[in-house]
Amino acid sequence: MATEQSTAVDDRRGWDSLRSWDVVVILAVVATAGLGSLAIDGMSSPRFWRFVIIEAIPIALIAMPMTLVIITGEIDLSVASMLGLTCTVMGQMWFLGVTSLPLLIAMCLLLGAALGAVNATFITVFGLPSLAVTIGTLALYRGLAYVVLGDRAVANYPVDWTRQVISPIPRTTIPWLVLVVAVMAVAFGIVLHATPIGRGLYAIGNNVDASTFSGINVARTKFWLFVLTGVVSALAGVYWTLRFASARADNGTGLELSIVAAVLLGGVSIFGGRGGLIGVLAAVVLLGVLRNGLQLAYVPANTLTIVTGALLILSVVGPNVVAMTRQWLRHRRSAAPPVAGA
Amino acid sequence: MTSLGTRPDADAATLASRGATARIAQRWFVARELGIVLALSLLVAVTASANSRFLSAQSIKDLLLGFTILAIVAVGQAVVIITRNVDLSVGSILGLSTFATGSLFLAAPSVPIPIAFVVGTLLGAVCGAVNGALISAARVPALVVTLGTLYVFRGIDYTWAKGRQINAADMPDGFLRLGTATVLGVPVLTLCALAVVMVAGFYLRSYRSGRELYAIGSDPAAARLSGIAVGRRVFAAFVTSGTLAGLAGVLYAARFGTLDANAGLGSELNVVAAVVIGGVAIFGGSGSVYGAALGAVLLTTIGAALPALGVNPFWQRAAVGALLLAAIGLDRALAVRVASRLRGRRARGD
């Protein structure tokens, strides 16, 4: 969706521009948490962080592959629907008598891979724009979720499963799943920032033709990226089912926009080619802290909606206005007549 | 559109083949809209033959009423998408305008109905102007800005409503009657939508600034270099989209009567789907508002036809998704064919 493709070209080195934005978001997290725990009762308690983390896990999970997808200049809006469809399929299989959790998880991940592969086929094999394709599969997968369960809910899972999923690391209040997310984040971070594959993703996002000519298999890379997004969305779906102990067709409706908002707020350019994982994860935490903190302060959820939207707009308008002002100043200085007598 | 050879000695040939290009393109667009009409007729014919009540007067009236609001918002969305942008905030603008209309009648029951229309539409225009200003002045991507204003406008709506609901009893009778009134059997709201489609279609086709929107969508950089005021046109496109979403909000209030802050919640992707099914390319530069409106009609008709056919209503959403995928796949196939035919002509020196 380029109005102004030319402004997306940045002559700074990738790391310079990216690091500064990461720092801004991290500082925002620290400031929010710090000021919040001074001003709002209960925000410094371990329980507060427990709730922030439990709530942020699915968003953090899906935001990671979404970051890679957006860096290549594509987008996947069907993630929340893949999550919802996985929930219903998992619920239905449990209902039909599949009682082995590993088997259920494996089947769900396979399903996610298949759903991602459908997206990937439309986008990379038929060459259709990912925005349109994934709006289509957003409706299709959510529709199939309703076909699977209708308006029923499957909720009678074994208590250990549902307790396990939010149980804390021994002697802390932090859910152990955060370790899984952390391991995945490290893996994603290494792939994105320290391997040829990751550098290739930036190259694709900056210039598809140039990266094709420099030997990157663009179609294959994007294909596996969408499959990966499907698998991780399915994983988030499993978590969602067990965390709420409920599989319903409307699980996670509208989550795709929250995830995209977090990724963009984290400094990833919607045109691709710019951004990093640290900023995105910091943005996920920032949104989680803000939401839970404001709830603790009895601020109505509506205000939070406004804050989320305003942050998102600020995150893109701010840097642009700074850059434009700087350019204008430079322009004026170079156009100014030489100082008299010099 | 396609750039052909421009050697000075081949001017005449260039002009001739450019005419051919235009004709092929024209035929393609006509075919595209005809395709939706055919699909629509097929759907109606099959449904009517399976369930005779589908074409009863009441059912037709419901159908006509059903697509009005979606069609009006889709026209504004089409104008924006043609310029290679997107407006995700339309659902929130609609909700805000709906609640504003309701609150206006609650606060001043005797306010004339046209004033309510002006207020709701103007509110939409202001929201659209906020989007447009952020996008064209601060030069930020429309997808991000309108995703942000989707939250902001809806948040304002919620804050204002505070969970209240406005009931049909609080609205003047004349206003509610507008929602169901008919002229010669056609609902007034549908005529309203028809007028919007005609005016927008005529403008895009016959006015210089309308054509410039297509030029911007085809290639923003080239449009700027050829002297088109890109920023101003994009701004105007967003104001149009906001205005129409505002108008749709007032019509929503008239049609449903009972309102809360959730009007139009989550409808943005449905609107984009209608526009894309109607043959407007998601990356701008081609398509028409007629197509977008037909896309809206097709989407609503499917919604009504599936239950009439006895299909499990849970299949409806899946059908919409499949249809959208089929539509963009079809567009792609047609575009590839047109491109290869054009290449063939050029090779023959036609």
Local confidence band at B2 (pLDDT 50, 70, 90 cut-offs): very low
Rounded mean pLDDT, B219-239 = 93
Does the pLDDT of residue B57 top 90, yes or no? no
Total-model pTM = 0.82
What CATH code is assigned to A8-302? 1.10.3470
Residue B188 has pLDDT above 90, yes or no: no
Q: Residue A5 — pLDDT band, cuts 50, 70, 90?
A: very low
CA distance B303 to chain A (A): 13
How far apart are the C-alpha atoms of A189 and B126, rounded to whole Å? 42
Which residues of chain B lie closer than 8 angstroms to A259, CB-CB? none
Identify the top-confidence range among A53-62, A294-303, B5-14: A53-62
Q: How large a percentage of chain A has pLDDT more than 90?
A: 47
pLDDT at A3 over 60: no
B-contacting residues in A 169-228 (Cβ below 8 Å): none
Closest residue in chain B to residue A272, using alpha carbons only: B141
With the C-alpha atoms ordered B35, B38, B44, B46, is the resulting torsion angle positive or negative? negative
Distance from CA of B55 to the nearest CA of A (A): 27
Res B30 pLDDT > 70: no
B193 touches chain A (CB under 8 A): no
What is the pLDDT, as a whole number, of residue A342? 44
CB of B223 within 8 Å of a chain A CB? The answer is: no
pLDDT at A174: 83
Flag whether residue B243 sits within 8 Å of chain A, measured between CB atoms: no
Residue A106, SS3 per DSSP: helix
* Cβ-defined contact of B84 to A1 (cutoff 8 Å): yes
> Is it the case that residue B9 has pLDDT exceeding 50?
no
pLDDT tens string B253-264? 988 888 888 888
The tens digit of pLDDT for each residue in B122-160 reads 999 999 999 999 998 887 888 888 988 998 999 899 888
Q: What percent of chain A has pLDDT over 70?
A: 92
Residue B187: which H helix or E strand, with range? strand B186-187
Is A297 within 8 Å of chain B by CB?
no
Looking at residues A83-109, what average pLDDT do you find?
94
Tell whether B213 lies on the interface with A, counting CB pairs under 8 A. Answer: no
What would the mean pLDDT of B306-322 be, rounded to a whole number? 83
Contact A313 B234 (CB under 8 A): no
Closest CA to A80 of A285, A281, A232: A232
Who has greater pLDDT, A280 or B59?
A: A280
- Asked if the C-beta of B250 comes within 8 angstroms of chain A's C-beta atoms, the answer is no
pLDDT at A107: 96
Residue A298 near chain B (CB below 8 Å): no
Mean pLDDT of A1-20: 46
Closest-CA distance of chain A to residue B145, Å = 5
Q: Please name the residue that has the structure tokens 């009972």.
A: B258
Quick count: other Cβ atoms within 10 Å of Cβ A164? 13
Q: What is the rounded average pLDDT of the residues B166-194?
A: 84
Question: Quick one: pLDDT at residue A94?
Answer: 93
| pLDDT of res. B110 | 83
Average pLDDT, chain B: 84
Residue identified by tokens 């439309």 is A122
Chain A residues within 8 A of B321 when measuring between CB atoms:
136-143
Q: What is the mean pLDDT of residues A10-17?
A: 46
**For residue A149, which of A86, A89, A80 has the smallest C-alpha distance?**
A89
The residue of chain A nearest to residue B133, with distances taken between CA atoms, is: A317
| Tokens representing residue A64 in the block | 């990671």
Q: Is A260 on the interface with B (CB under 8 A)?
A: yes
Query: So what's the pLDDT on residue B21?
Result: 62
Q: Above 70 in pLDDT, residue A30?
A: yes
pLDDT value at residue A139: 87
- Chain A contact present for B174, CB below 8 A: no
For residue A15, what are its two tokens? 């790391």
User: Which sequence spans correspond to the domains of chain A?
Assistant: 8-302
Query: What is the reported pLDDT for B50?
Result: 86
User: Which amino acid belongs to residue B142?
Assistant: A
Domain ranges of chain B: 67-264+283-288
**CA of B130: which chain A residue's CA is closest?**
A313
- Strongest mean pLDDT among A13-27, A150-164, A203-217: A203-217
